[in-house]
Amino acid sequence: MGKLVGAMSVDVMRFIDYYVGVPLCFLAGIWLKFVRLLQKGRKGPAKRTVFLQLSEMGSAIVGDSALRWLRNQNVEIFYAIFERNAASLRMVGTVAQDHIYLIREKSPLLFAFDTFRFFIWCRVRRIDSAIDFELFSRYSALLSAFSGARERVGFDSFHAEGLYRGDILTRRVAYNPHIHIAKNFMALVKSLMASEPDLPYFKGGISDEEIQPQKIAVNESAKLRVRAKLKELGTADVDQVKWVILNCAGGEFLPQRRWPQVHFAKLGQLILDQNPDAHILLTGSPSEALEVEPIRILTARDRCHNFAGRIAFEHLTSLYTFCRLMVSNDSGPAHFASLTEIPTYVFFGPETPALYGSLGNFTPLYANFACSPCVSAFNHRKTPCQDNKCLQVISPETVYSKIAQHLM
């Protein structure tokens, strides 16, 4: 469920999600059974659907094809998301700004207030269906249960143990860990529009073409602002520089996804020593500037720049148009890049590229260890591993050999 800033850790939230969420989901299931006795089924097809996707910025990008598919079925779409992740939803632009509901995590009181206000928000907008993009979260299941939606679609555990969310869903979809998460999301929306009941949903094929991201047009004024920021780095001609992004931050909630800082620094040295016209941008949010600074220091080259927080989030895709490539930890920017044509190389280990790989111009950097992936929906993305050798074993020399083609 993420982190309540200054309040609760991820482990505390997992504790609450289980020990509070399980009994509440049980009671919600009983209450919904009583409600169903008073209703006579759904009145007509879905018209106003709210998506529940709270905890991952990249999921707003990966799930966008499912949103667009449902919108093309003449369904009005709404979206509930944690406030800290909303920028990625706005980046894509599929959901109208006044159709987005933000849940604040700045304090437990605000979190509780926004949770209960959500139920009113749904009823005011006459939401008739809810699609839960979260993987077995009890919190999102409860949002769905009390949203007032007659149809509630989500992933059901069926015979899996330890993933109990009560009898809340009206359309239970089989989560498939062997296909890309974007196809799992597409299965949810197609289940909502299925005309006949089934168990489990969705029994049908989903092609790779159906989950392709929609490239976004780059705003020229945004490009001018990015160009001005790049010029501040002391480069005479921005267009003649071979810009390379190293997205070495991220992984706040799963630090096992981080490639070692010393490896990033060594890779930076290889890039700059072999390419005199290259410059490296160490990217991240403003709060991550201190995190990436040691990499700049270890690289010890003038053409390596700490660029974290130097441009607005909404200008990221404009930045990508200036760059030859990106090397990234498995985090949101790897998915943001799929909205452009930039070649992206992403480290995987605790998670698998088969399920979470970027949908853009993407190459996984993956050692294929026997223990990998060690986090999944079935363990609520919690691993005992404190020594991510699956990433440490990927050498800077190996990475450079893969990316050198873009620097010629």
Q: Distance (Å, rounded) from C-alpha 244 to C-alpha 322?
A: 9
pTM for this model (two decimals):
0.93
Alpha-carbon span 130 to 142, nearest angstrom: 11
- Does 396 sit behind a cis peptide bond, omega within 30 degrees of 0 on the bond before it? no
Assign 1 a pLDDT band (cuts: 50, 70, 90): very low
- Say what the pLDDT of residue 6 is: 40
User: Which pLDDT band holds residue 235 (cuts at 50, 70, 90)?
Assistant: confident
At 393, phi and psi to the nearest 5?
-75, -15
Q: Which of these CATH numbers, 1.10.1040.10, 1.10.10.10, 3.40.50.2000, 3.40.50.2300, describes 10-211?
A: 3.40.50.2000
371 Cβ neighbours under 8 A, 6+ residues apart: 385, 390
Averaged pLDDT for residues 102-131: 95
Residue 211: φ, ψ to 5°: -110, 15
**What is the C-alpha separation between 231 and 303, in angstroms, rounded?**
13
Convert the pLDDT of each residue in 191-215 to its tens digit: 999 999 999 999 999 999 999 999 9
Residue-wise pLDDT for 67-89, tens only, equals 999 999 999 999 999 998 999 99
Concatenated DSSP letters of 82-108: EGGGHHHHHHH--S-GGGEEEE--SSH
Burial class of residue 286, CB neighbours in 10 A (0-12, 13-18, 19+)? exposed
Please give the average per-residue pLDDT across 330-353, as a whole number. Answer: 95
Name the β-bridge partners of 81.
102
Query: Which residues, other chains included, contact 163 with Cβ-Cβ below 8 Å and sequence gap of 6+?
Result: 136, 157, 377, 378
Query: Please, where in the chain does CATH 3.40.50.2000 lie?
Result: 10-211, 220-407
pLDDT mean across residues, the chain: 92
* CA distances (Å), origin 140, targets 19, 191, 339, 354: 15, 18, 27, 25
Three-state DSSP at 381 gives coil
Per-residue model confidence (pLDDT) at position 4: 34
Number of CB atoms found within 10 A of residue 256's CB: 19
Average pLDDT estimate for 278-303: 96
Residues sharing a CB contact under 8 Å with residue 145, sequence separation 6 or more, in sequence order: 25, 28, 29, 31, 32, 152, 166, 168
How, if at all, do strands 76-82 and 323-328 pair? unpaired
Distance CA 192, CA 214 (A): 23
Helices (H), 314-363: 316-320, 332-336, 353-356
Amino acid at 13: M
CA atoms of 402 and 408, how far apart (whole Å): 12
pLDDT digits (tens, 9 = 90+) for 42-68: 567 899 999 999 888 889 999 999 999
Q: What is the pLDDT of residue 13?
A: 76
What's residue 9's pLDDT?
65
Burial class (CB in 10 A: 0-12, 13-18, 19+), 325: buried
pLDDT, position 7: 43
Please give the CATH architecture assigned to the domain spanning 220-407. Answer: 3-Layer(aba) Sandwich (3.40)
